[in-house]
Structure 1
Amino acid sequence: MENKKVLIVDDQNGIRILLMEVFGSEGYNTFQAPNGKIALEIVNNDKPDLVLLDMKIPGMDGLEILKHIKEIDPDIKVIMMTAYGELDMIKEATDLGALMHFTKPFDIDEMRVAVNMQLRNDTANKCS
């Protein structure tokens, strides 16, 4: 089974490093992007299985990035990260195809479990 790819998109370097460590140790190939432009280049070139996407990114915001990801490949799973209770944005993200969201500061174990569930279910579905 080839390693699943996880892309972490956040303008905060500390969060990217933390999540790369967590998901790298879970056996995933991890990619990181500090902004939408780089994130979409990675989506185009590396086709990640799942994207952890921050809602508030300078320049192209999370919703805009999400729209582009889904245009490139509707099967890529996206989990949003948000620092505020932006319910309207969260609703819009869900309408655009995001699976769920985590509010910062998030529980890293909860996120790890959610990502594993999404990516391992995926494998189980494909094998059956």
Structure 2
Amino acid sequence: MDKKKVLIVDDQNGIRILLMEVFNSEGYETFQAANGKLALELVQHEAPDLVLLDMKIPGMDGLEILKHIKEINSDIKVIMMTAYGELDMIKEATDLGALMHFTKPFDIDEMRVAVKAQLRNNVVVDAQ
């Protein structure tokens, strides 16, 4: 059984490290990117099953990265991470194909459960 791949995209090093530790311990293969350029390279080369994507990233913002991810592979699941008060952007992210969002500071257990649920959904979709 292949390990599911999770890509964490956030310009804050502490958040990337925390999420990598959590999802590594859950048995996922994890990758991290601090910016859009690296994130998109990883999407192309590693084909992650799910991307945890911060909305506010210097250079290329989360919405732009999300658009590119969906252009590369529309099957990749994306969960947005946002700072408080970015509700207008959340609607746009949902329209672009993001599944859900977590507002920082998020509950790590809630996120772990959500990621697990989204990745489990993969199996159901494939079986149809």
Instruction: Provide the TM-score with structure 2 as the length reference.
Output: 0.97
Query: Equivalent residue for 1:49?
Result: 49
1:107-118 correspondence to structure 2 within 5 Å: 107-118=107-118
* Amino acid corresponding to residue 99 of structure 2 in structure 1: L
1:10-89 correspondence to structure 2 within 5 Å: 10-89=10-89
Alpha-carbon offset, residue 68 of structure 1: 0.3
Find the aligned partners of 1:18 and 1:74 in 2 and give their Cα distance: 27
Find the aligned partners of 1:14 and 1:87 in 2 and give their Cα distance: 24
**Are residues 1:5 and 2:15 paired?**
no
* Amino acid corresponding to residue 17 of structure 2 in structure 1: I
- 5+ residue gaps, structure 2, are none
Cα RMSD over matched residues? 0.9
Find the aligned partners of 2:126 and 2:26 in 1 and give their Cα distance: 20
Alpha-carbon offset, residue 85 of structure 1: 1.9
Find the aligned partners of 1:27 and 1:107 in 2 and give their Cα distance: 19
Count the aligned residue pairs.
128
Runs of 4+ with >4 A deviation: none
String of CA shifts for 1:97-119, please: whole Å, max 9, x gaps. 00000000000000000000000
* Amino acid corresponding to residue 10 of structure 1 in structure 2: D
Alpha-carbon offset, residue 124 of structure 1: 3.5
Find the aligned partners of 2:96 and 2:127 in 1 and give their Cα distance: 27
String of CA shifts for 1:75-105, please: whole Å, max 9, x gaps. 0000000012211100000000000000000
Query: Equivalent residue for 2:121?
Result: 121
Query: Equivalent residue for 2:97?
Result: 97
Among the aligned pairs, what percent are the same residue? 83
Instruction: Provide the TM-score with structure 1 as the length reference.
Output: 0.97
